Structure formats: C-alpha cells, structure tokens
A = this chain, B = another copy of it.
C-alpha cells in the first residue's frame, strides 16, 4: 500500500486560457502564461492511497465523502495513460483533498486540486519528469498543468491531437523575480452560475470576437514572457489587464452572454486605474478569472497598500495576499490524514 501526500497552489493567469480544441484531453486554443501562487497562502493538500483493499474509488473532499464527476474523469484519463505500466493505479484509490480557500469562486481550486493529484500520483509511481506531471495535471483541469511548476509558467497549447506537446514550461523561476505578489479581493464565495467548462464551450461556439482575440493572444503571450525575462513590471501589468478585459469581452459577446464581473469587480478596476494614475506609472494590475473576485498583481512592496485599498471597496469581503510559489510538491502525510485513512480502511 502506498500513501503519498502533496500540496499545490493555484496559479493566476496573466494571459488567459478560455476555449478548448479538445474537451476530453483539455487541449487549449492558445498558449497561456501565469504566476504560480504560494502554497502558504492558498493550497490544495491531497493524499492518495494506492493498493488498499477498498472496493471502489473513494473521495473525501474538504471533509465530505462523496462522488465527484470531475475527479472520476481525471482518474479515468490518468489510468488510461499510466495503467499499463503501473498496475497499482488500476485498483480503487482513496483520495483525500482539502482546500484552504472557497471552492469554485473564481479562485482556481481545480488548478491546485488537480496539480496536487498529479503530483501525488506521479510520486507514488516513481515518475519524476515534471513535463509528465504537467500533462497528468492537465488531464484533470487545463490550467492545473501550470501549477506543476513554480514561478512564472507558460502552458504551450501544442499542435498534436494526442496532446503530447501540450504541457507547461517554466519561463522564469521564482528566485529570479520573487518580488511579485497577488492581492486577491474576494467579493463572493458563491458557486458560479456558468461553470468554466460550459462557459468556454459557449464562447468558442458563439462569440465572433473570440476568434479575433485568438489572433492577438499568441503575440501577447510572447510579450508577457519577454516582460517576465526582463523583469519589466509595467509591460506585464499592461498586458495582463488588457487580456483580462479582452477575455471578459468575449464572454459578454457569447450567446447567451456570460457576465462574471459585478459592481465590486468594476470598483476594483476603477480603483486600480486611479492608483496607477496617482503613482504616475503602472504599479498594479487587475485580472479576473471566471468569477467576480479580483486578483491584483503588484510588488510585495506595494501589496500592503493595495490590500488596504481593496478592503475599503464596497462588497469586498476578504483580502488574501500571496507571493510567488514554488509549484506542486510532495509532503509528509499529515497526522490527521493518517488517522482518517486508518479509520476508513479498517471500517
């Protein structure tokens, strides 16, 4: 029996992923680029047990036992990929996973969750190739492929039908530019009305402007990668805000329209523009995933000031500050989890 625990943090995309060319394999229609967050601020902690005598896959997510279609699909794909060489993974698995932040509220809990799962599975099977871990994470959730690496990460869309060239690579390690921070303003912990999966399908199918964004977005990825290498915060900030706005524009242009940003999001947009104007240069950049919560990318030096500013905005319930993280990794299994496993297996 193998028991492996791992931890992974979400990542915040500067150039976004919104649209798949293959739904099952989660192959995107463009490259994307992100900052992996710090697992000390935001994390999914996952433990898997392989080779137990359980009769069926058992999931305990945030303390609740129950089925989960998303994880079932991921395991199916992982088994299809690895089951021939690693028989142990074909047997029922026990998976225990906890997030320290609200699920499905525009903070990518699926990114950290599936990166942690991929990390644990790979480690249990002795797989050390990080490219392979990124692909395993991608099979669960596209953006999870980026959380397999720390620092500044680019997910290459690839061209192959089987997705073997669609994985993340590190643009720059955390150590080269550790000064950035993500100040997250949570205005809603509700589950979103339109899931990312069905939202991106809808945009790709119905938005004419979406295809227009595609023409520009690859160039934007190159520019952001260059800005990261040069440690050019102003370019990074500008391109980040523009791509967030462009993505939400294509969402609004979808049919029926998808509108994730609310009045609190708009107030953050205005506050950041004012902040930068007062500073006389771009010192902060907002970006929104598939939800109303704002991520404000800035430097650690300014993070406190930005956090105070965001706390003063009507509708902001909580502010979380995260630095740049190191990517997913294995950890010793927590004592509490060991006890939980013992209780489940000896029932």
Contact = CB atoms under 8 A, between A and B. Distances in A.
11 contacts: A209-B213, A209-B246, A209-B249, A209-B250, A211-B212, A212-B212, A245-B255, A245-B257, A249-B249, A249-B250, A262-B266
A248 B249 CA distance: 8
Interface string A251-286: 011011101011100100100010000000000000
A256 B270 CA distance: 9
A165 B336 CA distance: 78
A239 to B, nearest CB: 11
A252 B213 CA distance: 13
A273 B248 contact: no
Interface string A287-314: 0000000000000000000000000000
By size class, the interface of chain A is: 20 to 34
A68 B252 CA distance: 36
A202 interface: no
A208 B257 CA distance: 20
State the 9 A-B residue pairs at the shortest beta-carbon distance, nearest first. A212-B212, A249-B249, A249-B253, A249-B252, A263-B263, A209-B209, A245-B257, A246-B253, A259-B266
Interface of A is mostly: helix
Q: How many copies does the complex hold?
A: 2
Interface string A233-249: 00000000010011011
Interface centre among A250, A252, A273 (most CB of B within 10 A): A252
A216 interface: yes
A284 to B, nearest CB: 13
A213 B253 CA distance: 10
A252 B248 contact: yes
Contact of A245 (B253, B262, B266): B253
Contacts of A269: 257, 259
A311 B266 CA distance: 24
A208 B245 CA distance: 11
Contacts of A273: 256
Given A257-B269, A266-B262, A208 B252 contact: no
Contacts of A252: 245, 248-249, 252
A208 B246 CA distance: 9
A244 to B, nearest CB: 9
A47 B307 CA distance: 55
A261 to B, nearest CB: 8
Interface in A163-217: 208-209, 211-213, 216
A269 to B, nearest CB: 6
Nearest to A251: B249
Given A208-B216, A246-B253, 10 more contacts: A208-B212, A208-B213, A211-B212, A245-B253, A245-B255, A249-B252, A249-B253, A252-B252, A257-B269, A263-B263
